[in-house]
Amino acid sequence: MTQFSEHPKRKSWQVVAVLTAALSLGLPHALEAKPITVTAIGHNSKARYSKAPAMPYANPSAPKGGTLSQAAIGTFNSANPWMTTGIAMAGTDYMYDTLLTGSLNEAFVMYPQLADKITYDPYDTSWVIYHINPKARFWDGTPVTSKDVQATFDALLTKGLMQVRSYLSGVDKVEALDTHRVKFYFKSADNKEILLTVGQFPIFQKAAVDKHFEQLSLTPLMGSGPYKLAKVEQGRSVTYQRDPNYWGQQVMANKGRYNFEFIKYVYYGSDEVALEGFKVGQYHFRQESSARKWATAYTFPAVKAGMIKKESIASKNPVMMQALVMNLRHKLFQDIRVRQALTDAFDFELMNNTLFYNQYERLDSYFYGSELAATGVPTEQEKAVLTPLLAKLEPIQRNEVLKEWQLPKSDGKGYNRQALLSARQKLLQAGFYYQDMKLYQPDGQPAKLEILIADDKISRVLLPYVSNLKKLGIDASIRQVDAPQYLERLRRFDYDMIIAGYPQSLSPGAEQSYMWGSEAADEQGNQNYSGIKNEAIDDLISKIILADNREQIVLYTKVLDRVLRAGYYMVPMYGSTQTRVVYWDKYRHHKQLPDNAVGVDYWWVDKSADATIAKYLKR
């Protein structure tokens, strides 16, 4: 279950305008801007709220108190999610401040948190200086200094999770210039994104890092965040309590934020058991990710008594691409016509009608539901970007990328004959042949594939798809393994097909190379599960990373979307632009919710409603 500790991906950049007159005079040094110091910074966009008294989705007068309680699935044995061993408890982000905090309304615009200023050179991104707010304090009252920041990043870079080390691989070194200034040096002078990437990580006290960073413990490292760990029931629950002396209460982005006195996570073995716990009030706030449960599960007595509220919250963020991923490292999937055929065989309309109560939408973009999604035929601007890349695409992909891309549709009744005929024709064109009602590859090997899963609940979704594959003569099967084995096979790319999710943000950047870049295809542990190796995609990722403005980011991302779709590397599944939440009706939020998140950190408890619910639960 998703936990609503919302610390959005924080990455930003602000380009300083250069006088065109200087260019016309042929003065190259006019481009050499001097370092500037700012209090808010945006990734190729301006900060809208730098002079605002509070965020527009915050209620600075919100009452403090009450408990936000949610479910967590599984177990835990550690309070440190950044070390390489252990399973971290839910909600640890609440204990730590980051250097900057992100806006929930903007495409990665960052505002002060631990750092109250940032100094950088718009034309030399090989360094950035963060200025630590002199008022910042750890829980024990000691000041947060540049030495704490340096120690934190030294630990993350040498002892942290491999994903974190990879994400921060562009950091060369971190230097404490004085008590309140810390300088980051980067390996590249043209990676704008990394200036703000370093602003998204929690900062720990140096003494705690030096002594305890690698210890498997339920005692957290000393932090400066709004909540402290209050109570741990091993394997059952974790409770945090608001620090009444939190130093950052008056920081602009924190006004009207962190209103709950307690934040609690109750642990369950499965979401089915968690739902039963919600029904009897064991926890009070829930994201409902199941369309079936959303449509059918909320009819219990508390709902009928008016104690429960259901709310669908829209977001402008891209919907996570959930897809059946084909492993191109295997010969079976290397012909694009085979991948097209496997896409044709997926009958979304049938599944949505029979399994999902028509709650989902078919994902026809890697950035679905956002301004980054490509629509219709390419625009003239998109064609200008595409044209130099066409020679790097195989003929079918080249043809598909210039058209309006559409997935096949059925009547939802289970008789998807036309799509299966189309799939069969493509397989024959790829050199496959039939013998004794079975399909064979051009080399004479049987057409056989296995879909690897770790959760048996997804089987009911896959069975209609497997049935269609068998109608095509493909020996298709579902293989379930336990979670550790699944993760290990995922790490080694040891599978035919898997179901994978690809979260995206409104400001894509270097993370695209981990998902689609050629180098990542050969690096175990990366997210290029398909094994995509495509020079055009590599070029587009570079363009996105080096984009000079928001318009370029949107343009290059739309073209990337087109090339990814036209490669048929995976079978897009389903999703929703709505986040569905269900809660005991004591929580309140600003009438203007954030554009890009639920923003539960800005909600609060209505004390009168809380008392009514408590009375109801004591019946």
pLDDT band at 524 (very low <50, low <70, confident <90, very high): confident
Instruction: Tell me if 197 is assigned to some domain.
Output: no
List, for residues 587-618, the tens digit of each pLDDT value: 999 999 999 999 999 999 999 999 999 999 99
Instruction: Tell me if 456 is assigned to some domain.
Output: yes
> Which residues face 500 on adjacent strands?
323
Backbone phi and psi for residue 449, each to the nearest 5 degrees, phi listed first:
-145, 155
pLDDT band at 32 (very low <50, low <70, confident <90, very high): low
* Model confidence at 14: pLDDT above 50: no
First-to-final CA distance of the chain: 29
At residue 84, the pLDDT reads 86
Q: Is 493 exposed, middle or buried (0-12, 13-18, 19+ CB in 10 A)?
A: buried
Neighbours of 393 (CB within 10 A): 22
Q: Which of 230-239, 405-414, 463-472 bottoms out in mean pLDDT, i.e. has the lowest? A: 405-414
List, for residues 158-188, the tens digit of each pLDDT value: 999 887 888 898 999 999 999 999 999 999 8
Domain that holds residue 345: 321-575
At residue 384, the pLDDT reads 98
pLDDT band at 27 (very low <50, low <70, confident <90, very high): very low
* Model confidence at 8: pLDDT above 50: no
What's the total number of domains in the chain?
1
List, for residues 184-213, the tens digit of each pLDDT value: 999 988 888 889 999 999 999 999 999 999
Residue by residue, what is the 3-state secondary structure of 145-188? CHHHHHHHHHHHHHHECHHHHHHCCCEEEEEECCCCEEEEEECC
Q: 68: closest CA among 2, 3, 8?
A: 3
Instruction: Tell me if 469 is assigned to some domain.
Output: yes
Neighbours of 73 (CB within 10 A): 14
Give residue 582's identity as a one-letter amino acid code.
V
State the average pLDDT over residues 557-570: 99
At residue 239, the pLDDT reads 99
pTM of the predicted structure, to 2 decimals? 0.85
Percent of the chain with pLDDT over 70: 95
* Model confidence at 147: pLDDT above 60: yes
List, for residues 300-346, the tens digit of each pLDDT value: 999 999 999 999 999 999 999 999 999 999 999 999 999 999 999 99
Higher pLDDT, 125 or 336: 336
At residue 33, the pLDDT reads 64
At residue 204, the pLDDT reads 98
State the average pLDDT over residues 373-394: 98
* Average pLDDT, rounded, for the chain: 93
Q: What is the DSSP string of 427-479?
A: HHHTT-EEETTEEE-TTS-B-EEEEEES-GGGHHHHHHHHHHHHHTT-EEEEE
At residue 484, the pLDDT reads 86
pLDDT band at 16 (very low <50, low <70, confident <90, very high): very low
State the average pLDDT over residues 371-396: 98
Instruction: Tell me if 19 is assigned to some domain.
Output: no
CATH number of residue 539's parent domain: 3.10.105.10
* Model confidence at 414: pLDDT above 90: no
* Model confidence at 17: pLDDT above 50: no
Q: Which residues fall within 8 angstroms of residue 208, CB to CB, at 6 or more apart? A: 221, 222
Instruction: Tell me if 280 is assigned to some domain.
Output: no
* Model confidence at 2: pLDDT above 60: no
pLDDT band at 437 (very low <50, low <70, confident <90, very high): confident
At residue 548, the pLDDT reads 87
Q: Interhelix angle for 535-545 vs 550-566, to 10°? A: 160
State the average pLDDT over residues 572-579: 96
* Separation of alpha carbons 550 and 44, rounded Å: 5
